[in-house]
Structure 1
């Protein structure tokens, strides 16, 4: 029944599996699907890291390359994303090893979005992230046009 329930009612399956695990009935648990779901949760945490970095990098790019449009909305987004990233990494410290790749992935997307949102050519922006992760996360760091 568990395998079928996994396909037809995920919520009920999850509750059933949690109850089986708490009761120590490992042989009755749907171990393969449980393992799949745990791996999926890990991927979700990494996607969250990349997503928040993308938003932060987008706004840092706009801040640098469209200084006339700077305002409280961009400032707030940058500050909130920094705080949320700090909290996310605090809750998931092993993600710190993923930061270099996550920054590179996020910057690729942020660059495309920045070009679209500013109507500036993509070539206007650096091809690779111009800031270190420490700068990106530094509350005192606000990039200016070179």
Structure 2
């Protein structure tokens, strides 16, 4: 769909140029030109932002849970665990690359995910949750680094 404003010098296509579309609609908001806003797509983007934040948290839960299992059960390491770890990293990095506005949320998502990741790792390993550190032992950089696998 093409967003058309009364005073626009050109058409801005939401589907092919999201960045320019977003800047234009932000400018319209700041100027109080509400009738010219692409309201349907704005609502869609706001909903999508909430979903993306939840997806980041969910992916951190799986990533951290698998890294904890990797570290605390070295005898059970498998290509499946490695594949899951890599998949989560790829998806997190891809999401942030496509939606750079999510980058500031990474720290929050990581913190929110840790408790659930410990629960996941505890359930999968049979270890008590108290076996694992009270806060995430991995930095954001380590979590997203392609070749980081904790050793015990």
Q: Is TM > 0.5 for Structure 1 vs Structure 2?
A: yes
- Where 2:46 maps in the other structure, the secondary structure is helix
Hey, what does 1:72 align to over in structure 2? 79
Hey, what does 2:129 align to over in structure 1? 122
Q: CA RMSD in A?
A: 2.3
Hey, what does 1:45 align to over in structure 2? 52
Hey, what does 1:58 align to over in structure 2? 65
Hey, what does 1:86 align to over in structure 2? 93
1:98 matches 2:133: no
Hey, what does 2:114 align to over in structure 1? 107
Deviation at 1:30, TM superposition (A): 10
Q: Deviations over 1:55-100 (max 9, x none)?
A: 1111101100111110000011111111111111100111110111
Deviation at 1:37, TM superposition (A): 3.9
Q: Deviations over 1:18-74 (max 9, x none)?
A: 6xx7566986x995x765543221100111111111111111011001111100000
Distance 2:95 2:135 in 1: 24
Distance 1:37 1:76 in 2: 32
Distance 2:3 2:38 in 1: 13
4+ aligned runs moved over 3 Å, structure 1 = 21-27, 33-38
Q: Deviations over 1:97-129 (max 9, x none)?
A: 011110011111111111111110000001110
Q: Which moved more, 1:34-43 or 1:128-137?
A: 34-43
1:143 matches 2:150: yes
Distance 2:4 2:98 in 1: 28
Deviation at 1:139, TM superposition (A): 1.5
Q: TM-score under structure 2 normalisation?
A: 0.72
May I ask how many residue pairs the two structures share in their alignment? 125
Structure number having the greater helix percentage: 1
